[in-house]
Every structure is written in structure tokens, then in C-alpha cells.
């Protein structure tokens, strides 16, 4: 079949998705990227086509939308929306994070849940895909307000989740504090102490290395990509965006491997430190973001360097870029600038941080480009390891969990290589991750009949 015929099938598929899911731009974007890789594969493997696997995977198994009323410190009533998208349970209980951010809407959560299905499959662990959250903004709220919100949110969510049904975790705006409040409320309402959430504190069922896992895993994935060209992190200049959980631990691991991280950012701007963000500076950033809950621009007052207001890090010259903030934070112009400045490796800690036009630039330039669903799968993989430890009522050592994480990231890289290597030897990680994640889910769906 020619490329034109494939393109026509993609266009027809996307026209149907857009009619069925109007106004959900991020969801359309995520589906388009996946079906562009998968339609040729499905045409060559007609068992998937006849069973309409792609069409079924694009429709969530269940969508839950609910009211979250809570009272602020002034005694005023506030109302937010709560969501849980249960996308696929083909290979295990629904699994995926909760995001608390004012931009949260149905389209964003459906894109995240859709990506999560393939990502979870890539980890090789038995986890289906889901995502949820709220348009609640934890920024500027007191701990008591965050607690009241989390309790109200969980009062409804608890009836839909459970350790064998749906196991949420953190994401943007949901860290250890929020998971703690939600776990406490779940336990109180259900009268059971189970592994219903991951990202828990160490004293109450959490796993060592879970906080580090997404950032470390992303760097392990980048390390594997670099190896295919005989390279490593030693002496390399690395630009990272974001300054939250994923960015913090990506910075730590790059530094441990001898690289120099020169940027971090938040939604207000970017800091640039040409000397590199060493362990001492990073420890201060963890305090700034996780304890003081301050802004990244405060870094330059303390440690020097430059602050670029309302700019992203991508104008800074680097060898490796790790986008670790949010979706669509690398556009075509950013991608062109990165490539022009000599960047040869982009590994996504965030979900869908590169726009489709940016991805085209990376693939056309044949640089090492690791899409989020492969490169940031270490977080959910380690959540899977937390679930295993909860089931066994055991705690593994730091070394053991880190070793398991590292092995999983190496294996995800191998899967991408298997399905994504092109005739000239170039590894198209987008194609590799999409097909590699798809096969297990699709075969399970075939085996389980029309459900
Ligand atoms: P955090 O809330 O800890 O940090 C998010 C960071 O990104 C903050 O620095 C935040 O800045 C910045 N950010 C958020 N929204 C925007 C925006 N609209 N524009 C610019 N900057 C923004 O979240 P995480 O570190 O956990 O998540 C970061 C990314 O990684 C997300 O895409 C998430 O889906 C993905 N991810 C996370 C996993 C995890 O285990 N936590 C697992 C896999 C993927 P500010 O403080 O100004 O909002």
C-alpha cells in the first residue's frame, strides 16, 4: 500500500475521532500521532483491523465526571470539577496519575489516558491505562485548603477505584502532600489499608525511588539512545525545562552521570546557569519548590546566572534537551533552534511536550528523539513496583528498585529499537513506542472478545 493510501486512512480515522470528540485538541493530537504509526501496521496485520482494535482503544471504557465542593480558609464555598478517565483495562487495572491544574479539561485528560495505555504496556508490567484530576490550582492555597479539597475529591473518587480496579498516582500539582491527604480519606471511608494509590510516603506503603523514578528513568532512556551513537552524558551540556518532580530528579541523575544541567524553568520563565546546577544548588531547589513552594526566578538571587522572563529554555545551546514541564512546550521554532544549536538528543520527561511540527523537525534531522510514552515510563513502572510491594507487604531496597527501573528502561529502549528501526538504521522511536506498546494491548483485546 502506498503512503498516500495510508495518509487517506489516517485522515478518515481522524475525521471520525474529531466528530465524536469535538473540541478536544490535545486528544486529537495524541491520537493522530499514534494512528500515523499504527495504521500501516494494522493494515499488515488484518486481525487487528477486523476487530476494530484501534477504534475501540480510542473510546474510553468509562469516563467519570463529578462535582468537588470545598470550603476555603475564608469560609467561602468553592466548586471544582473532578475527572477520572478509565481508558483501558485490557492488561491490568486502570493506572495513571491525577493532575491538579487550572488548565485541566476533558481533552487534556483523555490525551494523557490514551498515551498512558501504550506507555504502561511498554513497561511490560500488568497495568491498564487511566488518568484523572481537577481544574483545582494548589498554587497559593494553604495546606488546610489543599487537604479539604483532596478529601472532597476522594469522597467521590473512592467509589470508582480500588487496588484491583483503578490505582491513581501523582502528576502535575499532585505530589506527596496531596497523595497523603487522598490516601487518608480513602482509608477512612473504605476502612481498608490497601495499595489504592501510588507515590505514597515510605512509612505508609510507598516505594523507595518512586519520587526519583520518572526523572531517573528519562535519563536512563536517554543514556540508551546516546549509546546507539557511542555517546554518554559525561561532559555534555543539558537543558531541562520545568522544576517540579520530574525535572528535579532528571537534573540529579544527569549530574551523577557527569553531565552539566544549565537550565530549569517554571510557568513564569527560565533560569540559565552556565556553571551548571550541582548537587548543592539542586538541594536548594528541592527546598524552594517542595517546601517553600516558591518560584524558580529566586534561583538567580541566590546562585547567580540569568533569568529569562516568560521564556522557555530552548534558545540555550545544549547537547541534550529534556523537556520535563508540560504538553506542547516545544514548538517548531524551538525545535529548529535546538537542532541549529547542535542538540542531538531530546528525551521527553513530560507527556507530549513537543508539538507535531517539532517532532517532524527532530525526525527529519534524524536526531535521537525519545517520545514521552517511552522516555518517561519509569514513573509508572516504579508505581507498578510499588503495587507489587504492597501486594506482598514487603519493602524492597533502594538499590533493588533502582536496578529494576534501570532494567525496565533498557528493555523499553530495546522494544523501540525492535519496532522502530528503519532500513537506513535510523531508530524512529515514535513508531517503535507506538507499535511496541500496541501489540500486547491489542492481542489481549482480541483474546478477551468484544468487551
Ligand atoms: P510538577 O507539578 O511537580 O511540576 C511541573 C513543572 O512544570 C513545574 O515546574 C511547573 O511550573 C511546570 N509547568 C506546569 N504547567 C506548565 C505550563 N502550562 N507552562 C509552563 N510550565 C508549566 O509535575 P511533574 O514534574 O510531576 O510533571 C511534569 C511533566 O511530567 C508532566 O507533563 C507530567 O504529565 C509528566 N509526567 C510525570 C510523571 C510523574 O511521575 N510525576 C510521570 C510521567 C510523566 P509552575 O510551578 O509554574 O506551574
Q: SS3 letters for 286-328?
A: HHHHHHHCCCCCHHHHHHCCEEEECCCHHHCCCCEEECCCCCC
CA of 172 to the centre of ligand 1 (A): 4
Protein residue whose Cα sits closest to atom 40 of ligand 1: 379
What is the model's pLDDT at position 298? 98
pLDDT in tens, 316-331: 999 999 999 999 999 9
Q: What integer best gives the mean pLDDT of the chain?
A: 97
Q: How confident is the model at residue 4 (pLDDT cuts 50, 70, 90)?
A: confident
Note the maximum CA span of the chain: 65
pLDDT tops 90 at residue 169? yes
pLDDT in tens, 348-371: 999 999 999 999 999 999 999 999
What is the model's pLDDT at position 133? 98
Mean local confidence (pLDDT), 149-155: 98
- Ligand 1 atom with minimal separation from the 266 CA: 11
Percent of the chain whose predicted confidence (pLDDT) is above 90: 99
CA–CA dist 305, 296 (Å, integer): 12
- Ligand 1 atom with minimal separation from the 353 CA: 32
Protein residue whose Cα sits closest to atom 47 of ligand 1: 267
384 Cβ closer than 6 Å to some ligand 1 atom? no
According to DSSP, residue 63 is labeled E
244 Cβ closer than 6 Å to some ligand 1 atom? yes
Concatenate the DSSP letters of all residues of 406-450 into one string: HHHHHHHHHHHHHHHB-TTS-B-HHHHHHHHHHHHHHHHHHHT--
Q: Do domains 1-59+431-451 and 62-193 have the same CATH topology?
A: no
What is the model's pLDDT at position 137? 98
CA of 350 to the centre of ligand 1 (A): 7
For Cα atoms 74, 76, 80, give the angle at the middle one, nearest 5 degrees.
Answer: 125
What is the model's pLDDT at position 201? 97
- In 123-151, which positions are buried (b, 16+ CB within 10 angstroms) versus exposed (e)? bbbbbbbbbbbbbbebeebeeebbbbbbb
Protein residue whose Cα sits closest to atom 30 of ligand 1: 350
| Helix locations, 123-201, DSSP H | 143-157, 176-190
Protein residue whose Cα sits closest to atom 23 of ligand 1: 172
CA–CA dist 71, 339 (Å, integer): 49
Protein residue whose Cα sits closest to atom 4 of ligand 1: 244
Mean local confidence (pLDDT), 2-24: 95
What is the model's pLDDT at position 1? 73
Protein residue whose Cα sits closest to atom 35 of ligand 1: 350
CA–CA dist 172, 245 (Å, integer): 8
80 Cβ closer than 6 Å to some ligand 1 atom? no
Give the torsion sign (CA, 121, 124, 130, 133): negative
- Ligand 1 atom with minimal separation from the 175 CA: 3
Concatenate the DSSP letters of all residues of 385-401 into one string: HHHHHHHHT----HHHH
What is the model's pLDDT at position 3? 84
324 Cβ closer than 6 Å to some ligand 1 atom? yes
**Backbone φ/ψ region at 212: left (φ over 0), alpha (ψ -120 to 50), beta:** alpha
Domain boundaries along the sequence of the chain: 1-59+431-451, 62-193, 213-375
- Ligand 1 atom with minimal separation from the 99 CA: 34
SS3 141: coil
180 Cβ closer than 6 Å to some ligand 1 atom? no
266 Cβ closer than 6 Å to some ligand 1 atom? yes
Other beta carbons less than 10 A from residue 172's beta carbon:
24
- Ligand 1 atom with minimal separation from the 349 CA: 30
Protein residue whose Cα sits closest to atom 17 of ligand 1: 267
Probe ligand 1: pick from 100, 267, 352, max atoms within 8 Å of CB?
267
Concatenate the DSSP letters of all residues of 65-87 into one string: EEEEEEE-TTS-EEEEEEEEEEE
Give the torsion sign (CA, 224, 230, 236, 238): negative
Mean local confidence (pLDDT), 374-392: 97
CA of 213 to the centre of ligand 1 (A): 14
For Cα atoms 240, 168, 288, give the angle at the middle one, nearest 5 degrees.
Answer: 40
Contact of 96 with 116, CB cutoff 8 Å: yes
As a CATH number, domain 213-375 is 3.40.50.720
Cα–Cα nearest to 448, from 13, 56, 31, 44: 56
Pick the CATH number of 62-193 from 1.20.120.450, 3.40.1390.10, 3.40.50.10860, 3.40.50.1110: 3.40.50.10860
Contact of 224 with 194, CB cutoff 8 Å: no
pLDDT tops 90 at residue 304? yes
Mean local confidence (pLDDT), 377-388: 97
Looking at the DSSP bridge assignments, the partners of residue 133 are 83, 99
Task: Please say if 95 is a catalytic residue.
Answer: no
As a CATH number, domain 1-59+431-451 is 1.10.285.10
Query: Looking at the chain, how many residues does it have?
Result: 451
Probe ligand 1: pick from 240, 246, 371, max atoms within 8 Å of CB?
246
Q: How confident is the model at residue 415 (pLDDT cuts 50, 70, 90)?
A: very high
pLDDT tops 80 at residue 247? yes
- Ligand 1 atom with minimal separation from the 210 CA: 40
Q: 118 phi and psi, to 5 degrees?
A: -75, -40
Catalytic choice (119, 131, 200, 260) = 131
Amino acid at each position: 500500500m502506498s503512503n498516500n493510501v495510508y495518509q487517506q486512512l489516517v485522515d478518515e480515522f481522524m475525521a471520525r475521532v474529531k466528530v465524536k470528540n469535538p473540541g478536544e485538541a490535545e486528544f486529537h493530537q495524541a491520537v493522530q500521532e499514534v494512528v500515523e504509526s499504527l495504521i500501516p501496521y494494522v493494515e499488515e496485520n488484518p486481525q487487528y483491523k477486523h476487530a476494530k482494535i484501534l477504534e475501540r482503544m480510542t473510546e474510553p471504557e468509562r469516563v467519570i465526571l463529578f462535582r468537588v465542593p470545598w470550603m476555603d480558609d475564608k469560609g467561602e464555598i468553592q466548586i471544582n470539577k473532578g475527572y477520572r478517565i478509565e481508558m483501558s483495562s485490557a492488561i491490568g487495572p486502570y493506572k495513571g496519575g491525577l493532575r491538579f491544574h487550572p488548565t485541566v479539561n476533558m481533552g487534556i485528560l483523555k490525551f494523557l489516558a490514551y498515551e498512558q495505555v501504550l506507555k504502561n504496556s511498554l513497561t511490560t508490567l500488568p497495568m491498564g491505562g487511566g488518568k484523572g484530576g481537577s481544574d483545582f490550582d494548589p498554587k497559593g492555597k494553604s495546606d488546610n485548603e489543599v487537604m479539604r479539597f483532596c478529601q472532597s475529591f476522594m469522597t467521590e473518587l473512592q467509589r470508582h477505584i480500588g487496588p484491583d480496579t483503578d490505582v491513581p498516582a501523582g502528576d502535575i500539582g499532585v505530589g506527596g502532600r496531596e497523595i497523603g491527604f487522598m490516601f487518608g480519606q480513602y482509608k477512612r471511608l473504605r476502612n481498608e489499608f490497601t495499595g489504592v494509590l501510588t507515590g505514597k510516603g515510605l512509612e505508609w506503603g510507598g516505594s523507595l525511588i518512586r519520587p526519583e523514578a520518572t526523572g531517573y528513568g528519562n535519563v536512563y532512556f536517554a543514556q540508551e539512545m546516546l549509546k546507539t551513537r557511542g555517546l554518554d552524558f559525561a561532559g555534555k551540556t543539558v537543558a531541562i525545562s520545568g522544576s517540579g518532580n520530574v525535572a528535579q530528579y532528571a537534573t540529579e541523575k544527569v549530574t551523577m552521570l557527569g553531565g552539566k544541567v544549565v537550565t530549569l524553568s517554571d510557568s513564569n520563565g527560565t533560569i540559565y546557569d552556565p556553571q551548571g546546577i550541582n548537587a548543592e544548588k539542586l538541594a536548594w531547589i528541592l527546598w524552594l519548590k517542595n517546601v517553600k513552594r516558591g518560584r524558580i526566578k529566586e534561583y538567580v538571587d541566590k546562585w547567580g546566572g540569568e533569568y529569562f522572563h516568560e521564556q522557555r529554555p530552548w534558545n540555550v545551546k545544549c547537547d541534550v534537551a529534556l523537556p520535563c514541564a508540560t504538553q506542547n512546550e516545544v514548538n517548531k521554532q524551538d525545535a529548529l533552534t535546538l537542532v541549529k544549536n547542535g542538540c542531538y538528543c531530546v528525551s521527553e520527561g513530560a507527556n507530549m511536550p513537543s508539538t507535531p511540527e517539532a517532532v517532524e523537525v527532530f525526525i527529519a534531522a534524524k536526531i535521537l528523539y525519545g517520545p514521552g510514552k517511552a522516555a518517561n515510563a519509569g514513573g509508572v513502572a516504579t508505581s507498578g513496583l510499588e503495587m507489587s510491594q504492597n501486594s506482598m507487604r514487603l519493602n524492597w531496597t533502594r538499590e533493588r528498585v533502582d536496578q529494576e527501573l534501570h532494567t525496565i528502561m533498557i528493555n523499553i529502549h530495546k522494544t523501540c529499537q525492535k519496532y522502530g528501526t528503519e532500513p537506513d538504521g535510523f531508530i524512529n522511536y515514535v513508531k517503535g513506542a507506538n507499535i511496541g506498546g500496541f501489540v500486547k494491548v491489542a492481542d489481549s483485546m482480541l483474546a478477551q472478545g468484544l468487551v
